[in-house]
């Protein structure tokens, strides 16, 4: 039995090109843009372009919390659960408030696919706590009234 | 209250502060012109004279770090750490969003001094505005001839590019950051070799926090001696202190190192909310040990905070009033570090999980004395026994929490 052959790397033991590999995170961001998460096809595409195996790409992507492996809603609400947000009546209080308003629990997506609710680690908004993020927009000094406004506006977006 | 003329934050409140024209109007890039007329040795000497220590948390003398870069290496790099993630810290985000050119000028001067022709900005993936501001600042600097070939006719070339992280606190650790820049999982490297010997792509690399770099133009313009005249014996210069938690006016305050904690809390940040007493203070970001109110006169410097039993870290002060549940605070901080552990070495990976289960039982009122003993045992076991400083950073809040507020932990086990 030729064990050597069996364990041969799928790319023939080729050495990864460091210049290509350095583009990994940027490539993953692009790959994620279209569907909001990394589809199997997207991972394969990145692997092909960088001259690596899909396993290599998946291994790296899974290390970083901003790369997703599952579909999410159009708006991803990320409530900061950091220490300063907690001390300023935020964190769970904000998350619970949003959760009740949208009728979804943490990690869930509304049935219409519009909102996903998550908690996130410190957003570096401790001086303007409580804070949350919706996609690429940061919201600070949150109060129930401000959260109502944000959600209402996003519900009305076409 | 002494009102100090701001150095690092002089621009941030001006309208359109992020634009290159605003920066130029107030003397921007003058330090670069001056530095390019100096020899590289003179620039490094000036930074050494200033005695500035790194502002990212570890506080290593910047001039010494620059001096470690080998002179004869043909290819060298500069990596700029904008991966601000330590809970309580929000200073780098402010500079990047409102005054990116002040950092960029420092980047160009530092690159010139160490002989790097390529610099990489590594920025937290969550900082969307910061990413935009960095990219805009860099492209404007190219247009004005501050970047690219033959900068200001000096013969010095430099290219700078921006790289987004993707949500991993550990990538703020310099070697993990280099791994991430190389497109890998952000697992810290074994040191030595240090980045100055083998960094990005195995080449000598200087890694520097962006607040540190923002100081450089001022050191060049006004001189290292001016800079070292500010501060305490071992902590020189101005520092941006981020203060948050139970204070009336949280925010960023730029003050000399050595300013007493009390002055920052009561005079600059407007004191504790509802006039309450202080129970605990975190002086330098959530991985630095707690202090109690009796340490309030401690000057905010590297050596002075160390003597008080804590550390300056990033200069992020979190104030907790007398009503604060310290077990919950320790649980929350530990949860952060457990979430962010890269999982590479076991004391951090398994120890963190063990501590968190005990803390969750205690915070939920279901803990026992055994949980307190376990916590202490595991935290002591982790301390100083991990590849990178994160394991120690995770153990610090637990150990100091138990040392200073043990009674609160015991109260939680009252009925069990």
Domain containing B244 — which CATH number? 3.10.20.600
Q: Is the pTM of this model over 0.90?
A: yes
Judge if B202 and B242 occupy the same domain.
no
Interchain proximity B320–A87, CB inside 8 Å: yes
Give the confidence band of B50 by pLDDT, cuts at 50, 70, 90. very high
Judge if B90 and B175 occupy the same domain.
yes
Judge if A128 and A84 occupy the same domain.
yes
CB B57 within 8 A of CB B314: yes
Q: What is the pLDDT of residues A49-83, one digit of tens each?
A: 999 999 999 999 999 999 999 999 999 999 999 99
Average pLDDT over residues B149-173: 97
Judge if A56 and A79 occupy the same domain.
no
For B143-189, the DSSP string reads HTTSSBSSGGGSS--BEEEEEE--S-GGGGSHHHHHHHHTTS--PPP
The phi and psi torsions of B9 (rounded to 5 degrees) equal -105, 20
Query: Pick from B166, B200, B228: which residue ends a domain?
Result: B228
Distance CA A70, CA A91 (A): 24
Mean pLDDT of chain B: 96
Task: Indicate whether B416 pLDDT > 70.
Answer: no
- Touching A: B residues 217-246, CB under 8 Å: 242-246
Mean pLDDT of chain A: 91
Distance CA B391, CA B287 (A): 10
Q: Give the residue numbers spanning the domain of B330.
A: 326-411
CATH number at residue B188: 3.40.50.11540
Interchain proximity A84–B251, CB inside 8 Å: no
Query: What's the sign of the alpha-carbon dihedral B342, B347, B352, B354?
Result: positive
Q: Could you give the residue ranges of the DSSP H alpha helices within A37-143?
A: 40-50, 54-61, 83-87, 92-102
Average pLDDT over residues A119-134: 95
Judge if A49 and A100 occupy the same domain.
no
Average pLDDT over residues B62-69: 97
Chain A residues close to B251, C-beta within 8 Å: 127
Judge if A89 and A149 occupy the same domain.
yes
Q: What is the pLDDT of residues B383-410, one digit of tens each?
A: 999 999 999 999 999 999 999 999 999 9
Nearest chain A residue to B187 by CA: give it.
Answer: A63
Give the confidence band of B2 by pLDDT, cuts at 50, 70, 90. low
Whether B355 maps to a domain, the answer reads: yes
Task: Indicate whether B197 pLDDT > 70.
Answer: yes
CATH number at residue A26: 1.10.10
Judge if B247 and B353 occupy the same domain.
no
Q: Give the residue numbers spanning the domain of A31.
A: 13-61
Whether B5 maps to a domain, the answer reads: no
Burial of B60 (0-12, 13-18, 19+ CB in 10 A): middle
- Regarding an ipTM greater than 0.90, the answer is yes
Average pLDDT over residues B216-223: 98
Domain count, chain A: 2
Whether A69 maps to a domain, the answer reads: no
Strands B238-245 and B316-321: parallel
Whether A32 maps to a domain, the answer reads: yes
Give the confidence band of A34 by pLDDT, cuts at 50, 70, 90. confident
**Residue B150: which residues within 8 A CB-CB, separation 6 or more?**
B156, B157
Judge if A99 and A133 occupy the same domain.
yes
Chain A residues close to B252, C-beta within 8 Å: 127
Judge if A147 and A89 occupy the same domain.
yes
Q: What is the pLDDT of residue A105?
A: 97
Say yes or no: B114 contacts chain A, CB-CB below 8 A.
no
Say yes or no: B184 contacts chain A, CB-CB below 8 A.
yes
Most A CBs within 10 Å, among B126, B171, B188, to test the A interface: B126
Query: Pick from B207, B228, B249: which residue ends a domain?
Result: B228
């Amino acid at each position: 039995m030729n064990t050597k052959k069996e364990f041969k790397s799928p790319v023939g033991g080729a050495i990864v090109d460091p210049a290509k590999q350095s583009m990994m995170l940027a490539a993953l961001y692009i790959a994620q843009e279209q569907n909001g998460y990394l589809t199997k096809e997207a991972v394969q595409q990145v692997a092909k372009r960088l001259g690596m195996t899909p396993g290599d790409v998946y291994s790296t992507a899974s290390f970083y919390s901003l790369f997703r492996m599952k579909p999410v809603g159009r708006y991803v609400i990320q409530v900061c659960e950091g220490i300063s947000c907690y001390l300023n009546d935020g964190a769970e209080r904000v998350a619970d408030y949003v959760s009740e308003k949208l009728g979804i629990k943490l990690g869930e997506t509304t049935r219409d696919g519009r909102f996903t609710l998550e908690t996130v680690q410190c957003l570096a908004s401790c001086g303007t706590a409580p804070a949350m993020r919706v996609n690429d927009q940061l919201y600070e000094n949150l109060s129930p009234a401000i959260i109502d406004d944000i959600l209402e506006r996003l519900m009305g977006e076409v | 209250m002494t009102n100090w003329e701001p150095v690092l934050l002089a621009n941030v409140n001006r309208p359109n502060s992020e634009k290159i024209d605003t920066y130029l109007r107030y003397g921007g890039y003058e330090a670069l012109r001056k530095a390019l007329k100096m020899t590289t040795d003179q620039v490094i000497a000036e930074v050494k004279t200033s005695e500035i220590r790194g502002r990212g948390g570890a506080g290593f003398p910047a001039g010494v770090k620059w001096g470690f870069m080998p002179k004869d290496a043909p290819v060298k790099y500069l990596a700029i750490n904008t991966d601000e993630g330590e809970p309580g810290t929000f200073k780098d985000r402010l500079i990047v969003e409102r005054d990116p050119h002040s950092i960029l000028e420092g980047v160009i001067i530092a690159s010139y001094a160490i002989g790097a022709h390529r610099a990489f900005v590594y920025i937290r993936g969550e900082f969307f505005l910061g990413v935009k501001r960095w990219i805009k600042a860099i492209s404007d600097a190219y247009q004005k001839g501050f970047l690219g070939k033959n900068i200001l006719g000096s013969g010095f070339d430099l290219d700078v590019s921006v790289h987004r992280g993707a949500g991993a606190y550990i990538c703020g650790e310099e070697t993990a950051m280099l791994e991430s820049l190389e497109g890998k999982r952000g697992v810290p490297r074994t040191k030595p070799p240090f980045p100055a010997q083998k960094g990005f792509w195995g080449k000598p690399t200087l890694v520097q926090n962006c607040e540190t770099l923002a100081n450089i133009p001022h050191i060049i313009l006004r001189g290292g001696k001016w800079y070292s005249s500010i501060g305490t014996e071992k902590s020189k210069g101005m520092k941006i202190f981020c203060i948050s938690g139970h204070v009336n006016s949280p925010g960023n305050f730029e003050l000399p190192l050595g300013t007493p904690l009390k002055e920052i809390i009561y005079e600059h940040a407007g004191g504790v909310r509802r006039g309450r007493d202080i129970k605990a203070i975190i002086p330098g970001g959530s991985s630095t040990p707690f202090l109690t109110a009796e340490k309030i006169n401690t000057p905010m410097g590297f050596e002075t905070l160390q003597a008080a039993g804590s550390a300056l870290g990033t200069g992020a002060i979190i104030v907790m009033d007398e009503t604060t549940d310290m077990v919950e605070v320790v649980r929350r901080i530990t949860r952060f570090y457990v979430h962010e552990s890269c999982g590479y070495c076991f004391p951090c990976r398994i120890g963190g999980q063990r501590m968190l289960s005990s803390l969750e039982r205690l915070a939920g009122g279901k803990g026992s004395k055994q949980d307190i003993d376990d916590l202490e045992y595991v935290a002591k076991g982790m301390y100083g026994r991990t590849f990178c400083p994160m394991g120690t950073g995770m153990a610090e809040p637990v150990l100091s929490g138990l040392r200073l507020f043990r009674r609160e932990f015991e109260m939680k086990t009252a009925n069990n």
